Structure 1
């Protein structure tokens, strides 16, 4: 069984269109166990109940932004080893440095393509297929 088929992914973005586009791209890559959340607060509740192998989270969200969500994930024992990709429309060095400091595995600038997302995922978990 390809790793993609066994991987559980959580997509976190306050924009429904973004969540659906990412989900479609992941499904094209063979990933089918996908859950979605509209903000970091909702996503953290999901992770507390059923942790994902990989989190793909936007930075700029209401209630709990991507960095605060990342910090919560890393501080919670059952989720601290989950892979984390931060998506951002802000490419500034300060944000990137903070994301790395708190344990982001990769940072992707928006807009991005599915091949870029695939490469970033594979850089963390290995070949998907």
Structure 2
């Protein structure tokens, strides 16, 4: 399956420390092409100007939350098939179901380990090399 270094990734989270943690975790897995955005609106602008292969987005953000971003990404032709992992501090069934309904490929609950992130990514992409 895909080499992690070739997967262009966008991290969308309103907390700078969380963006840094996700970036470091992805780098440990071999990801090299990583951009980030501080909220859903900035994330959507980034998706439109340079569509990534993978979006890891927080659910709870100001301006445009993760579900709103997901819906916008799915409605935008060039990004409609982009892999999308929803990141949340709450593992409630309703949120997970809504994210799946709107087209999320997977979800990840904070706090997470690099191994958990890898597992979620491999569910989406297959074995990472």
SS at match of 2:17: helix
Equivalent runs, 1:54-73 vs 2, <5 Å: 54-73=54-73
Unaligned ranges ≥5, structure 2: none
Matches within 5 A, 1:6-85: 6-85=6-85
Give 5+ residue unaligned stretches, structure 1. Answer: none
Structure 1's consecutive aligned runs of 4 or more residues displaced over 2 angstroms after TM superposition are none
The CA RMSD measured in Å over matched residues stands at 0.8
Aligned length: 128
What is the CA-CA distance between 1:3 and the residue it aligns to? 1.1
Q: State the TM-score, normalized to the length of structure 1.
A: 0.96
Query: Per the alignment, in what secondary structure is the counterpart of residue 55 of structure 2?
Result: strand
TM-score for both structures, normalised by structure 2: 0.96
Of 86-95 and 60-69, more deviation after overlay is shown by 86-95
